[in-house]
């Protein structure tokens, strides 16, 4: 694998889209000849350069069997130039010098007469990118000679499919509006003001892939995205959220898979998602995956010997299935063109302390290189997903002091290194780059519920009587404690989604759809594997994770992900910027 620094996504290179088909005279694909006395092999080979830039290209190859049935296949070709395959999918691709070999995998090796198998790859090159002249299938030489007149260095044709990753997928693109969320928002009084905003599509259980209880499945969303796309670029935001033993430190979003069911996660959840995203029909979409929120940080903060440790988090650290699951998802999904992986990196009120920050970054690197993945398959990170931390506190900084006492010593900051999500995201980005992630790493900040507007929003710093009056009087974030996370009272919509709002930030996003509950205020039976967490109970007096404060949660909330009208109305009322 090459680092992303050598790909167009990090160089902001203009993408050149080209299509080159290996074909015999008259426009048909090459046909295999049959040596005397052999079985009757035969095939057509379709080799397309799907996208090309100054230092590399992507290609798609389809082999169709026109002879006797084949049980296992091997396709071979050689390059005339210095092309080097760097990444492949749906075949075992190796290269020795100029010679390339693509072997079938366990699931696509059997080809009946007339059946096809396809695979793809990315490659680097310099100079010219000459097309392969000869193919061999299971040792039988194909007719030589590409006859398609397309020159892969020609300017792109407007009808060619877009290809390759760009530096910032949100730049110059529309973002998918989920029609199911939009309809719920529009049905609320005043909701039409924000019903057209883009939000994340949560794939929070296996059934969500096909569509559960009459809701849209992944294909339905992607088909609708194609309709919304039109002639421009469009981003679809997916939340990949179904790890075994999910949400080990809380109960409101426990998932369907037990702590040891990593194989189910791979084969019944990630693999079907990858198969859909690999459909050429959706090649023109930019797919942003936010990968497994609230997972990896738990392995730092909520394990023994921390006072916040839980038995479930100790189990997940011991069995390694969070690391394996995230690594597998990154590897499988990151191999697909047009897919951008952003890993969840918590928020400043979780990982901003010295003993959490560096350890979390190291853990992110471990997961990004697990299960065959690599740092190059991580396009960026997302912070504050489904949380409430203020985007930017304007009335105090981490370097301020009152009467000689640092802001870090205030009860609210409590020795944290950061006061808000923007400063945390930019610092975490710098730390990750220092550990070997690409220098062009992009960050997303979920601003769906961190506006903290309305009449209670401070307009000036607090009184300098003490460091606590100074911070508490001026802070926008009005939670009782930074550790409170469930359906927070007084919260408001934050900055509207937009691209490239600050240095190192790819976009502000609404990954958590406003109006969807974080968890139920009391135990509610359901078939979604979602439990009851006391942090969602407004009468709860807290635990070590919120320093034994009240939960600050709204009453009468439904189970997580279900529509919560009262919260939606409060979010609109307290929006900042105001609606």
Q: What tens digit of pLDDT does each residue of 348-400 get?
A: 999 999 999 999 999 999 999 999 999 999 999 999 999 999 999 999 999 99
Of 360, 330, 331, 355, give the one whose Cα is nearest residue 345.
Answer: 360
> Positive or negative, the Cα torsion across 555, 556, 562, 564?
negative
pLDDT of residue 60: 83
User: pLDDT: is 224 or 530 the higher one?
Assistant: 224
What Å distances lie between residue 234 and 105, 171, 270, 283, 285, CA to CA?
32, 10, 23, 11, 6
The lowest-confidence range among 97-106, 121-130, 392-401 is 121-130
Q: Which run of H or of E encompasses 283? A: none
pLDDT of residue 41: 54
User: pLDDT: is 536 or 51 the higher one?
Assistant: 536
pLDDT of residue 29: 25
C-alpha triplet 195, 492, 350: angle, nearest 5° = 115
User: pLDDT: is 108 or 171 the higher one?
Assistant: 171
- CA distance linking residue 4 with residue 32, whole number of Å: 37
Of 173, 11, 197, give the one whose Cα is nearest residue 500.
Answer: 173
pLDDT band for position 90 (50/70/90)? confident
| Residue whose entry in the numeric block shows the structure tokens 């924000």 | 194
**pLDDT of 107 strictly over 90:** no
**pLDDT of 7 strictly over 70:** no
Helices (H), 204-340: 207-210, 218-229, 262-264, 271-277, 298-301, 311-319, 321-334
pLDDT band for position 407 (50/70/90)? very high
pLDDT of residue 114: 66
According to DSSP, the residues that pair with 135 across neighbouring strands are 77
User: pLDDT: is 139 or 5 the higher one?
Assistant: 139
Q: Give burial (CB, 10 Å; 0-12/13-18/19+) of 107.
A: exposed
pLDDT of residue 52: 76
What mean pLDDT is predicted for residues 34-39?
Answer: 34
What mean pLDDT is predicted for residues 230-249?
Answer: 95
What mean pLDDT is predicted for residues 521-538?
Answer: 90
Mean pLDDT of the chain: 87
In the chain, the percentage of residues whose pLDDT exceeds 90 is 71
**pLDDT of 539 strictly over 90:** yes
Extended strands (E) in 394-491? 401-402, 405-406, 442-446
**pLDDT of 39 strictly over 60:** no
Pairing of strands 173-175, 201-203: unpaired
pLDDT band for position 42 (50/70/90)? low
What mean pLDDT is predicted for residues 334-339?
Answer: 95
Pairing of strands 140-141, 405-406: unpaired
Helix axis angle for 311-319 and 321-334, nearest 10°, is 60
Of 182, 174, 170, 176, give the one whose Cα is nearest residue 516.
Answer: 182
pLDDT of residue 12: 31
Widest CA span in the chain? 97
**pLDDT of 33 strictly over 50:** no
pLDDT band for position 531 (50/70/90)? confident
- CA distance linking residue 101 with residue 95, whole number of Å: 6
In the chain, the percentage of residues whose pLDDT exceeds 70 is 88
What mean pLDDT is predicted for residues 115-126?
Answer: 84
pLDDT of residue 106: 82
Of 260, 199, 263, give the one whose Cα is nearest residue 225.
Answer: 199
Q: 137, 46 in Cβ contact below 8 A?
A: no
- Please identify every residue annotated as catalytic: 294, 518
pLDDT of residue 141: 72
**pLDDT of 65 strictly over 80:** no
**pLDDT of 524 strictly over 80:** yes
- CA distance linking residue 380 with residue 165, whole number of Å: 13
Of 481, 486, 478, give the one whose Cα is nearest residue 535.
Answer: 486
The lowest-confidence range among 40-44, 71-75, 107-111 is 40-44
Q: How many residues does the chain have?
A: 579
What Å distances lie between residue 386 and 287, 338, 346, CA to CA?
20, 25, 10
- CA distance linking residue 148 with residue 24, whole number of Å: 9
pLDDT band for position 222 (50/70/90)? very high
Q: 427, 505 in Cβ contact below 8 A?
A: no
pLDDT of residue 453: 98
**pLDDT of 153 strictly over 70:** no
Q: What would the two tokens of residue 99 be?
A: 């010679």
Torsion (CA) 252, 255, 261, 265 in degrees, nearest 10: -140
| Residue whose entry in the numeric block shows the structure tokens 């992986």 | 341
Provide, for the chain, the percentages of residues in helix, strand and coil under a 3-state DSSP scheme, each rounded to the nearest 5. Answer: 25, 20, 55
Q: Which run of H or of E encompasses 427? A: helix 421-434
What mean pLDDT is predicted for residues 312-334?
Answer: 97
Q: Which run of H or of E encompasses 8? A: helix 8-11
**pLDDT of 158 strictly over 90:** no
């Amino acid at each position: 694998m090459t680092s992303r620094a050598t790909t167009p996504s990090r160089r902001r290179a203009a993408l050149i889209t080209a299509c080159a088909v290996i074909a015999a005279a008259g426009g048909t694909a090459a046909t295999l000849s049959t040596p005397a006395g052999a079985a009757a092999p035969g095939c057509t080979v379709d080799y397309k350069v799907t996208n090309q830039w100054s230092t590399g290209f992507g290609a798609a190859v389809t082999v169709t069997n026109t002879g006797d049935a084949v049980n296992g296949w091997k396709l071979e070709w050689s390059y005339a130039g210095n092309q080097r395959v760097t990444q492949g999918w749906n075949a075992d691709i190796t290269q020795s010098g100029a010679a390339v070999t693509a072997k079938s995998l366990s699931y696509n090796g059997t080809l009946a007469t007339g059946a096809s198998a396809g695979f793809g790859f990315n490659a680097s090159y310099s100079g010219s990118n000459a097309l392969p002249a000869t193919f061999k299938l299971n040792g039988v030489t194909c007719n030589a000679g590409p006859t398609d007149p397309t020159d892969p260095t020609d300017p792109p044709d407007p009808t060619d499919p877009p290809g390759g990753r760009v530096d910032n997928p949100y730049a110059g693109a529309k973002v998918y509006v989920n029609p199911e969320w939009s309809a719920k928002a529009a049905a609320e009084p005043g909701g039409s003001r924000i019903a057209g905003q883009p939000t994340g599509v949560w794939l929070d259980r296996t059934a969500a892939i096909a569509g559960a209880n009459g809701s849209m499945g992944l294909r339905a969303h992607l088909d609708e995205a194609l309709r919304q796309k039109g002639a421009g670029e469009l981003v679809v935001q997916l939340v990949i959220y179904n790890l075994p033993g999910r949400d080990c430190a809380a109960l409101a979003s426990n998932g369907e898979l037990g702590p040891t069911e990593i194989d189910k996660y791979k084969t019944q959840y990630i693999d079907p998602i990858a198969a859909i995203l690999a459909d050429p029909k959706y090649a023109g979409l930019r797919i942003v995956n936010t990968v497994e929120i609230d997972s990896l940080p738990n392995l730092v903060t909520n394990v023994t010997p921390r006072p916040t440790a839980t038995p479930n988090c100790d189990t997940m650290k011991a069995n390694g299935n969070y690391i394996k699951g995230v690594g597998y998802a990154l590897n499988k999904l990151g191999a697909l063109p047009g897919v951008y992986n952003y890993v969840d990196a918590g928020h400043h009120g979780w990982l901003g302390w010295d003993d959490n920050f560096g350890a979390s970054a190291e853990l992110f690197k471990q997961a990004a290189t697990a299960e065959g993945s690599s740092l190059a398959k991580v396009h960026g990170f997302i912070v504050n997903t489904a949380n409430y931390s203020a985007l930017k506190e304007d009335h105090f900084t981490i370097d301020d002091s009152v009467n000689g006492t640092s802001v870090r010593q205030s009860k609210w900051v409590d020795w944290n290194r950061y006061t808000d999500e923007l400063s945390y995201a930019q610092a975490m980005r710098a730390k990750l780059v220092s550990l070997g992630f690409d220098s062009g790493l992009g960050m997303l900040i979920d601003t769906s519920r961190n506006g903290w507007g309305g009449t209670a929003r401070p307009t000036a710093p607090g009184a300098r009587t003490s460091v606590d009056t100074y911070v508490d009087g001026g802070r926008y974030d009005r939670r009782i404690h930074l550790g409170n996370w469930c359906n927070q009272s007084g919260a408001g919509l934050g900055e509207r989604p937009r691209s490239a709002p600050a240095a190192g930030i790819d976009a502000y996003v609404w990954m958590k759809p406003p109006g969807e509950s974080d968890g139920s205020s009391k135990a509610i039976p359901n078939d979604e594997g979602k439990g009851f967490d006391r942090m969602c109970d407004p009468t709860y007096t807290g635990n070590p994770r919120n320093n034994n404060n009240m939960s600050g949660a709204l009453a009468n909330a439904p189970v997580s992900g279900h529509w919560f009208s009262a919260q939606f109305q409060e979010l609109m009322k307290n929006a900042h910027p105001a609606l």
